[in-house]
Structure formats: C-alpha cells, structure tokens
Amino acid sequence: MDNIFLALDFPSWDEASQFINKNDLQGVPVKVGMELFYREGSHIIEKLKENGHNIFLDLKLHDIPNTVHHAMKSLSTLNIDIVNVHALGGSEMIKRAKEGLLSGKGNERTKLIGVTILTSHSEETVQSELQLQQSLHESAIHLAKVTRKSGADGVVCSVHEAKAIKEACGEEFLTVTPGIRLTDTDANDQKRIATPAFARTNGSDILVIGRSITAADNPLAAYNQAVKEWGHDS
C-alpha cells in the first residue's frame, strides 16, 4: 500500500477534480472525508477509482454496533482501501464493523482502522473535557489495543503515539497518521504535528497530508517534497 495519502478537503467534486488535474496529481492516494462524501455521495469514489487513486474513506463511524455493521456492509461495496470508525465506540462496535465489511459484496482488501485520539485534541482537552482517566498518550495506546483485539487492522493516531502503539500491538498493525506538516509550514488547528521524516522514524506506516499540499503555491512540488522527506525516491 502507498504511504502518503492526500487529503481532499474540498467542498465539491468539481473543486477536488480541478485541483487534481491542474496540479498533475492524478493517481496519487487520496483521503475522502465527511465534507466531500456527504456532498457528493458514493459516485465520487467511483470517479476516483476510475482515475487510479487508492482511497481512504475517512467517515469516523461512531454509533450503536448494529447501525455501524449495516453501514460498513454498504460501504464494503465501494472496494475502498481504508475505512475507519471511532475506537471510542467500543469493542463490540468495532467487531460488528469488521463483520459488516466482510459480509458485504466487496473484497477483503479493505482495511478497517480505529480513530484513537484526534490530533486536534491536547492533553488539557483529554483531561478536562473528555475526562479520560489516563493521559492522552496512555489513552491512545489503550484504544489501539482495544481496536486490535476487536479485529481491526490498525488505527489513526498521532505520530507521537505511533511507535508506542507498534510496540503494544505489533509491527503489522497499521498506524495511519494525520497532523503531518512539511518542513516550514504552519500547524493550523492541529496540536500534535510532525514532519514526514520524523513520522517514518517514529513508527508511522501511512501519512495523511492536507493543507501543506493543497494550500501550497506548487502542490505537486509539495507532494514530491513529502515523498522526499518520507525517504523514498519516487
């Protein structure tokens, strides 16, 4: 699987496709989030697949187990590469999500991952608002363990927890890390960020990069810079 997914954080397919074509980013792996998917529906997945993109569908499902099961059964027909749920939904919900993926008409290549602690959260948020008993770091590792035991393939986590999650859950357990910023770019609303180079050395398998590329003066050059910082030649 490719290592760097471009976050298509655009309000419409027209804007997303114009960005891809204008900047010669056809075929790069992409992340489709709530804004774009809820606006355009499943046909956007079909269009991206026609253009050769690997797809991470980032919907962060979090509901009662039966509802998530049926939602995943429907999503399985899209034959996407990665899809996710909130790990805070609990072990039964994650298990039912995996069952839904496997019972649908798709194939078994779709990876199910659980969101641990959002990269927009800080230690203060975790303690004062979510009132989790453990620290942010400990909570992320705990949720990763729950996700693994529930049959999922990996987690979404901060780069700063990725190495510890690998140690706790095994090297084969995927760590998908947003909050990636290229060298000399702004953090924006992310709290726990890192560069691609640091991410690779700290246990990340897959990077999700948005504004460092989409807001760049030359998005293709920025994507290529991310690849270079990650440590590959192409």
Question: What residues act catalytically?
Answer: 60
Q: State the Cα–Cα distance between residues 2 and 14, nearest whole angstrom.
A: 25
Query: Given phi > 0 = left and psi -120 to 50 = alpha, else beta, which region is 92?
Result: alpha
- Which amino acid, one-letter code, is at 91? S
Q: State the Cα–Cα distance between residues 77 and 97, nearest whole angstrom.
A: 14
CA dist 45 to 9, 37, 133, 203, Å?
A: 14, 8, 39, 29
Query: Given phi > 0 = left and psi -120 to 50 = alpha, else beta, which region is 186?
Result: beta
Whether 195 and 227 have beta carbons less than 8 Å apart is answered as no
Q: Supply 210's token pair.
A: 């948005």
Consecutive H or E run containing 20: helix 13-22
Q: Which residues contact 160 (CB under 8 A, 6 or more apart)?
A: 137, 192, 194, 202
Give the number of residues written for the chain. Answer: 234
